[in-house]
Amino acid sequence: MFLCVSPNPAIDKRLTIPTLLAGEIHRARSVHSFPGGKATHVAMVLRTLGETPHWIGPCGGASGEELIAGLRALGIEPHISEVKGKTRTNLELIDDAGKVTEILEPGPELSADELDRFERACRKLFEKYQKSAFVLFSGSLPAGAPADLYARLIDAAKQEGCKTFLDAGGEALLGGIEAGPDFVKPNAKEAAAALNMQIDSVRSAATAIETLCELGARSAAISLGKDGLVYRDGAGRSVLWAAAVELKAKSTVGAGDSALAGFAKGIASGLSAEETLRQAVACAAANCIAESPGAARLTDIEKFRKQVKVQTVGAKR
Ligand SMILES: Nc1ncnc2c1ncn2[C@@H]1O[C@H](COP(=O)(O)OP(=O)(O)OP(=O)(O)O)[C@@H](O)[C@H]1O
Ligand SMILES: [Mg+2]
């Protein structure tokens, strides 16, 4: 059972426009809305990989209802924690040159009561599914949430025997790692900021991964955008790197989320570290050519999986 935890969910709106010019009026050529937020992208890709993922997040207002209906239509099982504020909308503007601009709303501020209810609803699911659950925590924390929210939830999930996965940046990443998640996947920028080091090569990403593991993560990956994905599994024998698939990306938004789904499914299925990394890169690549974030197609994933080459970066220190 996969449970995708979305503390700050969203509706994703993709607009296509001729050219983005600051201070000008733009008329969109096309507008599409989809269920969004990082955990939703993860759940969508897990669904495509043949799972029936569960999803939990605070939802409010008409946009919250749209999100819930959208999740159900995708075959994702939503567990809702109702809040007064409206679920946010994240804008993705794609211009004719293929340039992607994102505008992310902060999302509603949650009251202490709402946060408490969300946390209790998560704990109830951890208790229900115990060691059969793979719990994936993704994205930013809502305004009003304590910085240690992920740490508390990871701790609670681990106490019930669940496996825990974390994809976040900043305080949420550092705090969460201290709780000892089974796997973390920041991107290079997030990892560099959290560890206060430069990550500009596969080698420096491998060093950063070792630091993430020393800080508490059992295994870790760092995504380097078009420069690929670096991974060390739980056995920690060696660090692996796979180059990204060469393609013309429509948008890379959600590529990291899709990679996380590939990792989680690979780890849950007992695939080897090499196969797990191959699957993560293939899911990420399929996301880059998809109609919307998280909408990777299985045929693309299978096609790309065959193209991914995995190399060893170096033995563990
Ligand atoms: N331009 C690209 N071409 C091919 N593959 C890409 C490209 N950009 C990203 N990828 C693939 O997607 C993976 C994740 O990308 P990235 O590092 O941008 O994640 P991210 O910043 O966490 O994304 P998000 O948080 O929006 O999901 C990369 O490791 C790579 O395999
Ligand atoms: Mg990311």
- pLDDT reported for residue 41: 97
Ligand index nearest the alpha carbon of residue 254: 1
To which H or E segment does residue 283 belong?
helix 273-288
Query: What average pLDDT does this structure show over 20-32?
Result: 95
Whether 252 has a pLDDT exceeding 80, the answer reads: yes
* Beta-bridge partners for 194: none
Q: What is the mean pLDDT of residues 162-166?
A: 98
Residue 285, domain member (yes or no): yes
Q: Of ligand 1's atoms, which has the minimum distance to the CA of residue 167? A: 22
pLDDT tens digit string along 83-114? 999 999 999 999 999 999 999 999 999 999 99
Evaluate whether residue 23 is within a structural domain.
no
CA of 13 to the centre of ligand 2 (A): 18
Listing DSSP states for 67-132 in one string gives HHHHHHHTT-EEEEEE-SSPPEEEEEEEETT--EEEEE---PPPPHHHHHHHHHHHHHHHHHHGGG
Integer Cα distance of 250 and 178 in angstroms: 36
For residue 89, being part of any structural domain is answered with yes
Does residue 56 carry a pLDDT above 50? Answer: yes
pLDDT tens-digit map of 116-163: 999 999 999 999 999 999 999 999 999 989 989 999 999 999 999 999
Q: pTM of the prediction?
A: 0.95
> In a mutational test of the pocket of ligand 1, which residue from 100, 226, 253, 277 has the highest number of ligand atoms less than 8 Å from its CB?
226
Asked if residue 236 is part of any domain, the answer here is yes
State the residue range of the domain holding 206: 2-18+29-315
Mean of all residue pLDDT scores within the chain: 95
CATH number of domain containing 40: 3.40.1190.20
Residue 147 belongs to a domain:
yes
CA of 298 to the centre of ligand 1 (A): 18
User: What is the average pLDDT across 207-224?
Assistant: 97
Ligand closest to Cα of 224 equals: 1
> Is 1's pLDDT higher than 60?
yes
Give the mean model confidence (pLDDT) for residues 47-68.
Answer: 97
Residue 95 domain flag? yes
Ligand nearest to the CA of 259: 1
Total domains, the chain: 1
Q: Is residue 24, in this structure, part of any structural domain at all?
A: no
Contacts 24+ apart (CB under 8 A), 147-150: 147/171, 147/172, 147/175, 148/175, 149/7, 149/115, 149/119, 149/175, 150/7, 150/175, 150/176, 150/179
pLDDT bin (cut points 50, 70, 90) of residue 236 is confident
Please determine, for residue 186, whether its predicted confidence score (pLDDT) is greater than 60.
yes
CA angle 247, 266, 306 (to 5 degrees): 35
- Bridging pattern class, strands 229-232 and 238-242: antiparallel
Q: Among 51-65, 179-193, 226-240, which stretch is predicted with the lowest mean pLDDT?
A: 226-240
Pocket of ligand 1, beta carbon within 6 A: 187, 223-226, 228-229, 244-245, 247, 249, 252-257, 259, 281, 284-285, 288
Residue-wise pLDDT for 36-53, tens only, equals 999 999 999 999 999 999
Establish if 107 belongs to a structural domain: yes
